[in-house]
């Protein structure tokens, strides 16, 4: 039951709340995971290798290292590229906190640059202004699955000798100017967290055109040991050597089996996401109270999230009020994201204040992330559209 009365005091659009997300897990996933459970080998092993090979096909055949999360992947990629104490790493405030936290854990300092008002991804001009002698790397985020301006960011990075590690947690399957996301920066990190377009429950992957970098990530993901347990068992050798103070970040065969089953259905998942987005775009484009997200002309948007923007000059309700009213209509929505630089931790440790990144802050205050997932029925999509329309008209000014 909705907690609050619908905006017009009448019946809500839905009685039973539409969840913000629901994964598609069916027979193929259950069978694949069960097979591994019964196989006698459940941690990292042959299925993880198979998953890495299947992922490689989505990134022009580049080497891929599967890891236990994108958070780990970002940590390991930045570490492998030499980011450490005293360095600065430029990133966006419109992201999940993990993007910045990993920089802190490496002893480096996150420096937040502002975003482009249209794509809401890093604005290369703001990045250029943020570069100092300490800057070591740039971490763009392909927010919602919309690629950042990689051409300009890579040009800038090359000129200033900076590494580029792409946070592609939202962008598996995205294509930018004819080449897949994953084949642009020095390293790219994907997430297979429960809500992502492909899931392993928790998991991630790092890809790079550099085999040496991926070998290093693999080593760091396994305590800095030269051989993982599976390879030692298979070769019947007990000896191992540690050459770096590594981490523990391996993906298990159980998770990889789930991922492989999901990859088989990835094309169908993406088709359904695009259908839903097309319905939203058609319905909302003509509403003056809102602004629809930009589509990608040269490339393929991964459409992980649908970020509708409210126009405060046309609506007599703020973002929070709009979200509450949507909930009262039976629709769960979300916000991606609260600007990371305004989180209490970053205000306290790095002295960021409201107003320091005006484009990102204004955008965040207007974002309403609508449900978008392949398990949504036509009826679900119609309900979301009806609820947004109802609120746009009720609150219009
Ligand atoms: C933009 C972004 N970066 C990083 C992460 C971290 O991913 P993971 O949960 O796989 O560590 C997420 C997860 O939601 C994300 O959305």
Best residue for ligand 1 mutational test, from 78, 165, 174, 193 (most atoms within 8 Å of Cβ): 193
For residue 55, whether the previous peptide bond is cis, meaning omega lies within 30 degrees of 0, is no
Instruction: Tell me how far the alpha carbon of residue 96 lies from the centroid of ligand 1, in angstroms.
Output: 6
SS3 54: helix
Q: Which residues line ligand 1 (CB under 6 A)?
A: 69-71, 95-96, 98-99, 141, 167, 169-170, 191, 193, 204
Mean pLDDT calculated for residue range 378-390: 98
- CA 63, 69, 74: angle at the middle one, nearest 5? 65
pLDDT of residue 375: 97
151 or 3: which leads in pLDDT = 151
| Mutation choice for ligand 1 from 95, 191, 249, 364, CB with most ligand atoms inside 8 A | 191
For residue 380, count other CB atoms closer than 10 A to its CB: 18
123-145, pLDDT tens digit by residue?
A: 999 999 999 999 999 999 999 99
> Residue 72 CA: which ligand 1 atom is closest?
11
Residue 232: is its pLDDT beyond 80? no
Global confidence as pTM: 0.97
d(CA 170, CA 388) in angstroms, rounded, equals 24
Whether 196 sits among the annotated catalytic residues: the reply is yes
Q: How many CB atoms lie within 10 A of CB 250?
A: 23
- For the stretch 345-354, pLDDT in tens is 999 999 999 9
Residue 185, pLDDT score: 97
Looking at the chain, the whole-number percentage of residues with pLDDT higher than 90 is 93
Express each pLDDT in 216-227 by its tens digit: 999 999 999 987
For a mutational test of ligand 1's pocket, the pick from 93, 96, 143, i.e. the residue with the most ligand atoms closer than 8 A to its C-beta, is 96
3-state secondary structure of 356: coil
Q: Is the torsion defined by CA of 77, 80, 86, 90 positive or negative?
A: negative
CA distances to 66, 188, 216, 246, 373 from 219, rounded to whole Å, are 12, 17, 5, 7, 35
pLDDT at 4 over 80: no
**Ligand 1, atom nearest to 73 Cα:** 11
pLDDT value, residue 1: 44
The rounded Å distance from CA 29 to ligand 1 centre is 22
What domains are there in the chain, each with its CATH number?
Answer: 27-264 (3.40.640.10), 266-394 (3.90.1150.10)
Q: How far is the CA of 77 from the centre of ligand 1 (A)?
A: 14
Pick the catalytic residue: 196, 248, 298, 390? 196
Identify the pLDDT of residue 3.
53
Rounded to the nearest whole angstrom, what is the distance from the C-alpha of residue 362 to the centroid of ligand 1? 22
In angstroms, the CA 166 to CA 189 distance is: 6
What does the buried/exposed string (b/e) look like for 252-272 if buried means 16 or more CB atoms within 10 Å of the residue's CB?
Answer: bbbbbbbbbbbbebbeebbeb
Q: Which pLDDT belongs to residue 101?
A: 98
**Read out DSSP for 122-183?**
B-HHHHHHH--TTEEEEE-B-GGGPPP-HHHHHHHHHHHT-EEEEE-TT-TT-EETTEETTS
Handedness of CA 336, 340, 343, 345 (dihedral sign): positive
- Ligand 1 atom having least distance to the Cα of 336: 16
CA of 24 to the centre of ligand 1 (A): 19
Mean residue pLDDT of the chain comes to 96
User: For position 2, what pLDDT does the model report?
Assistant: 44
On the question of pLDDT at 326 being above 50, the answer is: yes
pLDDT level of residue 8 (50, 70, 90 thresholds): confident
Q: Which atom of ligand 1 is nearest to the CA of 71?
A: 11
Res. 297 pLDDT band, cuts 50 70 90: confident
Closest CA to 316 of 394, 212, 219: 394
Cα(102) to ligand 1 centroid in Å equals 11
Please tell me the residue having the least CA distance from ligand 1 atom 16: 96
The alpha carbon of 347 and the centre of ligand 1 are apart by a number of angstroms equal to 21
| pLDDT for position 143 | 98
Task: Please report the pLDDT score of residue 140 as a whole number.
Answer: 98
Cα separations (Å) of 198 from 29, 153, 178, 183, 244? 12, 27, 22, 19, 31
Q: Are 150 and 179 in contact (CB under 8 A)?
A: no
72, 169, 335, best to mutate for ligand 1 pocket (most atoms within 8 Å of CB): 169
Determine the atom of ligand 1 nearest the C-alpha atom of 141.
1
Q: 234 falls in which pLDDT band (50, 70, 90)?
A: confident
């Amino acid at each position: 039951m909705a907690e609050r009365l619908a905006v017009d005091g009448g019946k809500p659009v839905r009685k039973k709340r539409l969840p913000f997300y629901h994964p598609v897990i069916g027979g193929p996933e259950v069978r694949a995971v069960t097979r591994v459970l019964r196989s006698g080998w459940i941690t990292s092993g042959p299925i993880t290798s198979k998953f890495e090979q299947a992922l490689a096909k989505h990134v022009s055949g580049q080497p891929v290292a599967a890891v236990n999360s994108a958070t780990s992947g970002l940590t390991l990629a930045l570490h492998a590229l030499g980011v450490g104490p005293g360095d600065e790493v430029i990133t966006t405030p419109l992201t999940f906190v993990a993007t910045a936290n990993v920089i802190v854990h490496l002893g480096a300092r996150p420096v937040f640059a502002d975003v482009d008002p249209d794509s809401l991804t890093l604005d290369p001009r703001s990045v250029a202004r943020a570069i100092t002698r300490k800057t070591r790397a740039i971490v763009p985020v392909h927010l919602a699955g919309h690629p950042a301006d990689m051409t300009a960011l890579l040009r800038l990075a090359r000129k200033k000798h900076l590494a580029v590690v792409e946070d592609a947690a939202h962008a598996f399957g995205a294509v930018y100017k004819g080449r897949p996301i994953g084949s642009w920066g020095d390293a790219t990190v994907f997430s297979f967290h429960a809500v992502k377009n492909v899931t392993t429950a928790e998991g991630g992957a790092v890809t790079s055109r550099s085999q040496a970098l991926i070998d290093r990530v693999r080593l760091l993901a396994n305590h800095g040991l030269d051989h993982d347990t599976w390879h030692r068992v298979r070769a019947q050798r007990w000896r191992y050597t540690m050459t770096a103070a590594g981490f523990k970040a391996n993906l298990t065969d159980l998770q990889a089996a789930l991922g492989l089953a999901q990859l088989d259905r990835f094309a169908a998942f993406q088709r359904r996401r695009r259908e839903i987005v097309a319905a939203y775009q058609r319905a909302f484009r003509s509403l003056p109270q809102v602004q629809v997200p930009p589509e990608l002309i040269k490339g393929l948007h991964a459409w992980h999230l649908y970020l509708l923007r409210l126009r405060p000059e046309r609506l007599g309700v703020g973002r929070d009020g709009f979200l509450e009213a949507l909930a009262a209509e039976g629709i769960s929505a979300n916000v991606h994201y609260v600007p990371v630089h305004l989180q209490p931790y970053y205000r306290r440790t790095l002295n960021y204040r409201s107003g320091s990144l005006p484009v990102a802050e204004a955008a965040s205050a207007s974002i309403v992330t609508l449900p978008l997932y392949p398990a949504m029925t036509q009826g679900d999509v119609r309900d979301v559209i009806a609820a947004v329309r109802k609120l746009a008209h009720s609150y219009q000014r």
